[in-house]
Amino acid sequence: MISAIIYTSNSGSCEHYAREMSRKLAIPCYDVKKCGLPKGMEVVYIGWLMNGKVSGLAGVLRDYDVKAVVPVGMGAPTDSSAKVCRSKNGLGEDVKVFPLQGRFDMDKIPVYFRPVMKMVNKSLVSRLEGKSNLSAGDKATLEMAKNGKGEPATWDGILEVIAWVKEVREPLDVIKWHEP
């Protein structure tokens, strides 16, 4: 049974998503740095993306039975986002992947990675600016890239993860009814 949500957060999005899941599922959430849960527990992991890698995931995979991963990046998820996440992070098909868009703040990016993100942002602006058929997520990405900070188009993506956990979660008390 999924017993906890573990997260690592850079600009606050992963923590926001973890707390929302925790509140709606009555499952505790923990910052990966302060976790201290027994090894082997079934968990959902929420982590921010840097160059396609989910921050902190390798250690969580080593210590826990990760049932789902929620990679959070500044870009709007695409149809191939889950596949790319699996490939770059060595995840098998037994782990559900729910890519989400999060907030972006250049000032919270590690200093060594800021020059790369400035180039990425320039590329995003040139690719997205002037297009008329942008999705809400792409519009949010464009604004983040232009301004160096911003919010996702919506925080509702976590609802799909919550619904999945509710579906797969084993009930705490199972009562079997028998015909007399």
Q: What is the DSSP letter of 171?
A: P
> What per-residue confidence (pLDDT) applies to 170?
58
* Segment 46-59, tens digit of pLDDT: 999 988 899 999 99
* Segment 70-126, tens digit of pLDDT: 999 999 999 999 999 999 999 999 999 999 999 999 999 889 989 999 999 999 999
> In the predicted model, is pLDDT for residue 148 greater than 50?
yes
> In the predicted model, is pLDDT for residue 171 greater than 80?
no
- Ordered alpha helix ranges (H), the chain: 13-25, 57-63, 81-89, 114-128, 136-147, 158-168
> In the predicted model, is pLDDT for residue 173 greater than 50?
no
Report domain extents, the chain: 2-105+152-168
Q: What is the residue whose two structure tokens read 């500044």?
A: 74
Alpha-carbon Rg for the chain in angstroms: 18
- Report the distance separating Cα 148 and Cα 6, nearest Å: 27
State the pLDDT confidence band at 64, using cuts at 50, 70 and 90.
very high
Superfamily of domain 2-105+152-168: Flavodoxin domain (3.40.50.360)
Q: Does residue 110 sit in helix, strand or coil?
A: coil
